[in-house]
Amino acid sequence: MANDDAIFNLDVGNVSIDGVRFLDMHPGQKMTLSAWYATMGCAVPAAIGTQTAFPDRQVWSISGDGGFTMVMQDIITQAKYQMPIINVVLSNDSFGFIEAEQDDKGQPHSGVAIQGADYGAVATALGAQGFTVHNLTELKTAFAAAKIAKGPVVIDVKIANERPLPVEQLVIDPETQDPQAVEAFIKKYHAQGLIPFRAILEQYEA
Residues at the site binding ligand TPP, with contacts judged by CB under 6 A: 11-15, 38-41, 64-67, 90, 92, 94-98
Contact predicate 156/131, CB 8 Å = yes
Neighbouring CB atoms inside 10 A of 26's CB total: 10
Q: Which is nearer to ligand TPP, 115 or 176 (CB)?
A: 115
Nearest-CB residue for ligand TPP: 64
Q: Which is nearer to ligand TPP, 41 or 152 (CB)?
A: 41
* Minimal distance, residue 174 CB to ligand TPP, in Å: 31
- Rounded Cα distance between 69 and 74, Å, is 10
* Minimal distance, residue 38 CB to ligand TPP, in Å: 4
Contact predicate 94/116, CB 8 Å = no
- Rounded Cα distance between 135 and 147, Å, is 18
Q: Which is nearer to ligand TPP, 162 or 173 (CB)?
A: 162
Q: Which is nearer to ligand TPP, 96 or 152 (CB)?
A: 96
- Tell me which DSSP letter residue 6 carries: -
